Amino acid sequence: MSPVPFHVLPVLVLAQFAGTSLWFAVNAVMPDLQLAFGWPATAVGSLTSALQWGFIVGTLVFALLALADRFRATRVFLCCAMAGAACTVGAWAMVADFTVLLFWRFATGFFLAGIYPVGMKIASQWYRQGLGAALGYLVGALVLGSASAHGLRAVADALPWPSIMLGVAALAAAGGLLILTLGEPPQAPVRVTHLQWQALGMLWTDKRVRSSVLGYFGHMWEIYTLWVLLPLILGTRLSGVDLSCAAFVMLGSGALGCVLGGHAARRWGSARVAALCLGVSGLCCLLAPLLMHAPDVVFYAWLLLWGITAAGDSPQFSTLTARNSPPQAVGSVLTLTNSIGFAISTLSILLFVALSDGLPLGWVLTGLALGPALGLWALRPLVREGI
């Protein structure tokens, strides 16, 4: 098998980073919007959930229509990046109407279904070997993309908030154009003309796929709720630009976990790396009541470790699922898995945002440990196999 050209991975990473920057474009400017329009603190949970539900519907539609397997994946990525950018511009133009803003965030989530899982599909076409390491970089780009709005907010605090939203939209559009430079992989992808029902059924019937998928579901119970609550956690000690900087660092640290985990998987296997990350992040959940009141050095070290390990297992779940799925249905299997996983994360966000409004935050965070516990239980067969 001929080596993958050097430019492929950087292009994939940059395009994924740019496309997924849409994820928290509104969350990063929420303090400004709440000040301008008098929205309650729970508005951030509603807007995040609207985007998550859009992503769920989008991934379900993409999976049922097998769009990522029927059409050229790079073109699907381009169309969705452009559409997501347009939705963010629409959100900026109509931001004063909260109901309309919910619609635009839902639509943005819908088109993100053609960016995140489709990017993984493209990576699986190019990297038949070393997929775990490649997806480590790719999911790391997703994490940084999700954090980018907070980073942009931190470095451009003097700019009005519309500049943040429009800047993110432009970045996503650029990512869509960049992906076209890849062309076709050396081995032409298998194209299908109809939905692979039997392949999708592997989520439940194949023990290896079922194990990685259930582990991923446990991971999804924790990670996005942590990301949504992170500004609230940091807000107990920081505010303003300092909070945005810290949120970018803590959230973005997950990219380091993804990359390091990808390289570690080459030696120890994807299942063992995922299990290690789940175990450490679960412990971070359980220690929250104590560490919320710890000295600053311990407090920030805890959040940094949590950010690294909560995201570090994600590419390994995708790797395990992609390896054990039929080549002609990898895109649809990954997309359906994402759909169910994000439905779980949306329910988790709604539950924990509501609980955090009336209960001590440290004790609320311990409930996130249920996800890593499920993931560790599900991964046992794959860990024993060492794959």
Tens of pLDDT, residues 135-153:
778 777 777 776 666 666 6
Q: Using pLDDT thresholds of 50, 70 and 90, give the confidence band for residue 237.
A: very high
The model's pLDDT over 248-291, given as tens digits with 9 standing for 90+, comes to 888 888 888 888 888 888 888 889 999 999 999 999 999 999 99
The model's pLDDT over 341-384, given as tens digits with 9 standing for 90+, comes to 888 988 898 899 889 888 999 999 999 999 999 999 999 999 98
Is residue 64 pLDDT above 90, yes or no? no
What is the average per-residue pLDDT within 41-57? Answer: 82
Highest mean pLDDT among 25-29, 47-51, 189-193: 47-51
**C-alpha span between 203 and 205 (Å, rounded):** 6
Whole-Å CA distances, 114 to 120, 213, 341: 10, 20, 16
Which pTM does this prediction carry?
A: 0.76
What is the average per-residue pLDDT within 181-191? Answer: 66
CATH fold for domain 8-182+196-385? Growth Hormone; Chain: A; (1.20.1250)
3-state secondary structure 28-91: HHHHHHHHHHCCCCCHHHHHHHHHHHHHHHHHHHHHHCCHHHHCCHHHHHHHHHHHHHHHHHHH
Share of the chain above pLDDT 90, in %: 34
